[in-house]
Structure 1
Amino acid sequence: MFYHVPMLPPRNPDLRLKARGADTRPEGRFERLTHRREDDGWDIPEDQTLLRTEVTIEEPRSILTRNSSPDISFDRSINPYRGCEHGCIYCYARPSHAWLGLSPGLDFETKITAKPQAAALLARELARPRYKPAPIALGTNTDPYQPVEAQLAIMPGLLRVLRDWNHPATLITRGATVLRDIDLWAELAARDQAAVGVSITTLDPDLARVMEPRAPTPATRLRMIRELSRAGIPVRIMVAPVIPVLTEPEIEAILTAAREAGASTASMIALRLPHEVAPLFRDWLERHRPGMAAHVMNRVQAMRGGRDNDPRFGHRFKGEGVEADLARQRFRLARRRLGYREGSPPLDCSRFGPPPRAGDQLSLF
């Protein structure tokens, strides 16, 4: 059964939006009530208020999230934040805000929840006697290096715990604040315990500015790849998401630019529009690319069985049909021609163990 997508509410004229991906606040699919603005009959103009980002502190009982999805390569992850100020209009994580009773639209990119005790919680979970190490994926839902991380600095604490316990980790990001922690990532990489994925959707700065309004520019992300790889950290370029018509023509160009910057492996993910993301993305197309909107959505539906989204395992990341197959063939040919490795080397879990304490006997070897 597929979720019926409601119409989006009109934009609130009393709010001034600056560098936001969404334009409105649709209710999440779990809400029983909807809210609509009505004219009260008074012809009195209201002062506009700039919509600012709000950060709420969360104190969870645990920090590791487990999954058993058959088409995901990791079984555990950490997300220091809920919501993401980058505001990427296509973000598949937007519906997760509906679980909080918040809108997957503007609330997702302006009402951020942070978990500053993440490092202490991770250390406690790693110390459990029955814990078995396997790479922890960081940033699988929302970006751990989004703008608020520059002030809250949750990630350095997590990385120090991982380093002290000799625990491998992977990262998915497009946030330039990762370069602040490059020494910690390099320490893990020197032990074969780290790999970083940097996602680039387009090389066009004008398109990126309206599609990913608070994410670093494409040029900055290429610089991130360059600096991370120079520090000895394996970098994977993630051509994601590939949007038909809009960014699909750039597959080869993105792979070429990333390879020149030092990326050693590459992956590609087709656009996904789960639940509330579909109407938000359609609205964005009409506002920013009206002449292409119908063409883009026709191509999206062509690779999703006639629907805006196909959530089936094994299909959701790839799409299906002639054009989806052609895009994958182009990607594979370009990856081979540019000399990317076929896959990432496994990360080392063999050294995992508690950090030494004062008074511990030193090893002879």
Structure 2
Amino acid sequence: MKTNSGHFFEDYKIGQVIEHAVPRTISGGERAMYHALYPARHALYSSDEFAENCGLDKSPLDDLIAFHVVFGKSVPDISLNAVANLGYAEGRWLKPVYPGDTLRSVSEVIGLKQNSNGKSGVVYVRTTGLNQFDEPVLEYVRWVMVRKRDLDAPAPETVIPELKAVVAPEDLKIPEGLDFLRYNFTLAGEQHRFADYEIGEKIDHVDGVTIEEAEHMLATRLWQNTAKVHFDATNREDGKRLIYGGHVISMARALSFNGLANAQMIVGLNGGAHANPCFTGDTVRAYTEVLDKAETSAPGVGALRLRLVAYKHGAPEFAYKDAAGKYHPDVLLDLDYWAVVPL
């Protein structure tokens, strides 16, 4: 048999290292397509001149482009037979990615837990994205529910990794040379700086975008994500194609520009959950809660810890979790991340 049916839950072993196929050289085309798919307009990712004034050689590619490419490489080996991608932790952007860089991915299996129904299990992997010089540009942990091929296959020993709830500010990797002392607030689009944000503050990003079938399919192909639930309508009992969770992440991040235009770069991913499925026709809206603040060693650069909540329907003032910790059915995404802002 020459075709690849993908890995099933019983195929994974603790400590297994998987080098994912098909490295990808990134061009300016990815930037243009990303900005066409999402209302992304952060200045650092849009202007070489703005980036140079911030101490970088030129404008890097959006951090989530790197995330999507690295994630997409891992899908055929990790989540081709997934039921759902469940969460993220310990994510760090380690080096900016520029047009011309070639990215590849490597994952290590760090946890396994069979579900009580015996039909699937949860696989924990630590994935690293590397450039053409074998320099890590991104790392994160994710866990995904994967179907079993053989329901009679014995359950593995349960191993659930201990993961940090938060990436410590001192562990954040600020890009070399980044300097916000000459930051141009007018060109960035807003005047809000580090001191203007208060812990506990909630920001309603006001705008919404309705998910279109063609756009989410195009995005998932762009990132070479081959998970069946995103393409094959017969793969789900409801006959719907599940929207790639990363599509919702990028949409919500882009919407957050309104109120967080100066949160220029994502440098850490503390945690994340795709709380409920998203489908074509859903209108994505978002709000952000400021969770923490930290200064960095880079000139004029501070870091905000932000909780980005994407939701459909509803209103931002709803309680996104009930007393038992269950997400409100309108919540699509709960993402906890660090972003750098000017002091």
- TM-score, structure 1 length as denominator? 0.25
Q: Which of the pair is proportionally richer in strand? A: 2
- TM-score, structure 2 length as denominator? 0.26
